[in-house]
Structure 1
Amino acid sequence: MPIVLTLGLAQLINWGVSFYLPGAFAWRIARDTGWAQPWVFAGPSLAMLVMAAVSPLSGRWLEHMGGRRVMCAGTLVCTAGCLTLATSTTLVQFYAAWCLLGIGMRLSLYDAAFATLAALYGSAARRPMTQITLMGGLATTVFWPLGNWLGDTWGWRTGVLVYGGFGLIAWALLRSLPPTPVRTLTTGAAHKARAPLPLPPALLYGTIMALVSILSSGLAAHLTSLLGARGLPVGLAALWGLGQVCARTLEWLQPRQASAVKLNLVVGYGLPLCFALGLAGMSSVFAAGVFIFVYGALNGLATLLRASLPLELFSHDAYARALGVLLTPAFALSAVAPWGYSVAREHWGDTAILRVSLVIGLLIAGAALSLRRLAPLAPAPQTCEESRSTF
């Protein structure tokens, strides 16, 4: 439990000071610097492209260096990115900061923690994965209000510097973990880990995660400013994190966790309904709150599926490699989301965000249904004892 608690707190901080940073500061940066919003939101998009470039290497680093060392390094790079961002006075410096944040995020966020837990627990890793996301899911609830308060009180530069200080706290938490054992594979296991992944499930998994990432990165960058533009309390955005935690808690409390493939179908069908509700009720505080809470819940489950689906679809020996390779399109395609959503808002108004998201939700539903039909082709998950024997 101490390991899970430490990882969870570190994830809460690292998500808050990196991925969710634009939600609190992007519009303030655009206002104070005079840079056009599309150029400001191109920064998070650039970070996603960097994450895509680093992703194929991250799996190898996790296998050969261990999760603690990789996550500590990534956290320090995120801190350096915050410091560079806070002191940037030109777009070149601004984009350099986001390049650093992109590297740091790929090495310090959930995927690195998930790969570490998968290496330790094999197919039994789903429950500890859920536990760390319970705390990590509070990142928006904690850091969006904190960021808005810092920005209103001392300005965005001081706020981002404070975020960098929190990054050092996350680094100290990760340093307190016991060293992560480095995997040593037998010749047979190494050949199995290098074997090609089953193509249809791999393509569908990669597609679903790419579409989910587009939604998450686009809405994370624009939700607070969208609420303000509609005359709604910005504090409603905190319901995103609350919804994530509630959904993950319910999933964790289940005496027998449902199949990840079946849960993926629930999320796929839920997303279009959620955005339909958002389109119908964003003028009402209550309806907007329900929409944000429900989306947060579905997004929280989608994050768990990002970690648990590969446990059912692929051999656990190939887990880190599978995430490194199959999530590369997710980072690359979601890179355009903050910038693309900004362009859509400028040309077609605020509701364009929700309309685009509804279409993406429908695509996720179709891909989830296709994956469910392929589920019998997926290899059976290994037992906990089998998973521990190779680590």
Structure 2
Amino acid sequence: MLYLGVSQFVAWGISYYLIGALGDAMSAGLGWSRTVVHGGFAASLLVMGVVSSAAGRCVDRWGGRQVMVAGSLLLAVACLALAAAQGVAAYYAAWVVMGVAMRLTLYDAAFAALAHWLGPKARRPMAQITLLGGLASSAFWPAGHALAGAWGWRGALVVYAVLALLMVPLHLALPRRAPQVLRAAELAGPTDAAPLIGGEPPAIAGARRTLAGALFAAMTTLVNFLNAGMSAHTVGLLAGLGLALPWAVGIASLRGVGQSSARLADVLWGGRWHPLALGAGAALLLPLACLAGLWSGQVLAAALVFVLAYGAGNGLLTITRGTVPLVLFDHRTYGAQVGRLVAPGFVLSACAPVVYAAVIDHAGAAAALWLSVGVAVLAFGVALALWIGFTPGARRSSTNP
């Protein structure tokens, strides 16, 4: 798990959080608007949605090792292509490659690999690998700013490409196939899933399966949209609300501390919570955090609450994105099933960086935070419906008139 955790830390830092660290420097260096620059990141998220189902099927067929090695190589290519880009076409083409690479290396690929290796017992390892991944923003936002200040944003991207290549041996160290413990667990039958879901088989069928999938996809879509906007613009939001840029960068970087702290708590004590209940509780933190953020420019403590609480909620929801499908669906087709359900989230979140940039430019940072509150409230409502409708008790009552 250590190799996979370290690779997630690096992969998130040099891809998903790239635009938050280097976006302003790229905009100034290229002479382009914030909307055009962040549009590249939006394109990569759109590509992630387009290739999501195919990527999931690839993990089901060939395993996480081969898929994630290929993703690491593509990350290096994308970073070098961005560093060399001069025109808009080359810039966006590099982000298209980045989108494919992110889908093959980030959590959804890693979770699918763990589901194949460990089956219903993958919940704890899923939480464990997110501990380091959650610190990526805390490390790479200030590191990216420092690298851009020392060597320019193009030089920073060359460093990122080197880091991507260093992930290849980490992924090569992953298992080629499911370990013997998984094969034994599958032979033992569905009762092995009992520790995860309170003694009931995880899979549901028929109309309830369709409804569960729709709610899971809706929750993932809303959370991804919010996360994409926040990942690209947290520093800009805090600065727009009145914080000096060094303070904005420093406080925004604490998001990773909130994420990993919440994930550590889940590793230590999360087994007491059903994944659906954990998802609803985590989703509640998002609107509360965004409301606190509205006072970030006047009260420093509000900025800290905003970043840490949002990080905690988002960090836990990342785990539930991996564990909830283990409760609802068959782990043997995890990659294809989840790939299909999370695809809308990637597609819609592709709009988020551009939407947030436009809102900030035309209505200000406070308006962008009110947008965040609205999206977060919707995400909480869907998570609550999923919890109420698909807890083990609800499942029993629906099958026994």
Could you tell me the TM-score, scaled by structure 1's length? 0.91
1:349 to 364, 386, 391: 364
What's 1:37 paired with? 34
2:265 to 250, 256, 270: 250
What's 1:56 paired with? 53
Give yes or no for the alignment of 1:139 onto 2:130: no
2:321 to 287, 306, 314: 306
- Deviation of residue 106 (structure 1)? 0.4
What's 2:64 paired with? 67
The SS at the match of 1:344 is: helix
Partners in 2 of 1:131 and 1:50 — Cα distance? 28
What's 1:329 paired with? 344
- Deviation of residue 282 (structure 1)? 3.5
What's 2:380 paired with? 365
Instruction: Report the CA distance shift for 1:222/1:376 in structure 2 as closer, same or farther (over 3 A).
Output: closer
- Deviation of residue 306 (structure 1)? 0.5
Instruction: Report the CA distance shift for 1:255/1:199 in structure 2 as closer, same or farther (over 3 A).
Output: closer
What's 2:228 paired with? 217
Contact kept? 2:243, 2:297, Cα under 8 Å = no
Letter in 2 for 1:207: A
Partners in 1 of 2:77 and 2:134 — Cα distance? 23
Contact kept? 1:221, 1:338, Cα under 8 Å = yes
The Cα offsets for residues 84-140 of structure 1, whole Å up to 9 and x where unpaired, read as: 000100000000010000000001111111011111111110100111000111101
Instruction: Report the CA distance shift for 1:310/1:379 in structure 2 as closer, same or farther (over 3 A).
Output: farther
The Cα offsets for residues 139-160 of structure 1, whole Å up to 9 and x where unpaired, read as: 0111111101001111100011
* Structure 1: gaps (5+ residues): 381-391
Instruction: Report the CA distance shift for 1:13/1:353 in structure 2 as closer, same or farther (over 3 A).
Output: same
Contact kept? 1:279, 1:354, Cα under 8 Å = yes
The SS at the match of 1:280 is: coil
Contact kept? 1:223, 1:237, Cα under 8 Å = yes
Matches within 5 A, 1:172-191: 172-181=169-178
Contact kept? 1:134, 1:248, Cα under 8 Å = yes
- Deviation of residue 27 (structure 1)? 1.1
The SS at the match of 1:326 is: helix
Count residues in correspondence. 372
- Deviation of residue 239 (structure 1)? 0.7
Letter in 2 for 1:120: W
Letter in 2 for 1:319: Y
Partners in 1 of 2:77 and 2:224 — Cα distance? 24
Matches within 5 A, 1:1-391: 4-181=1-178, 198-229=209-240, 230-232=242-244, 233=247, 234-254=249-269, 256-376=271-391
- Deviation of residue 223 (structure 1)? 1.1
Instruction: Report the CA distance shift for 1:375/1:220 in structure 2 as closer, same or farther (over 3 A).
Output: same
Contact kept? 2:120, 2:331, Cα under 8 Å = yes
Partners in 1 of 2:146 and 2:177 — Cα distance? 37
Letter in 1 for 2:300: V
- Deviation of residue 318 (structure 1)? 2.7
Contact kept? 1:217, 1:337, Cα under 8 Å = yes
The SS at the match of 1:231 is: coil
Partners in 1 of 2:136 and 2:391 — Cα distance? 36
Provide runs of 4+ in structure 1 moved above 6 Å: 182-186, 377-380
Contact kept? 2:289, 2:306, Cα under 8 Å = yes
Partners in 1 of 2:161 and 2:282 — Cα distance? 34
% of aligned pairs identical? 39
Could you tell me the TM-score, scaled by structure 2's length? 0.88
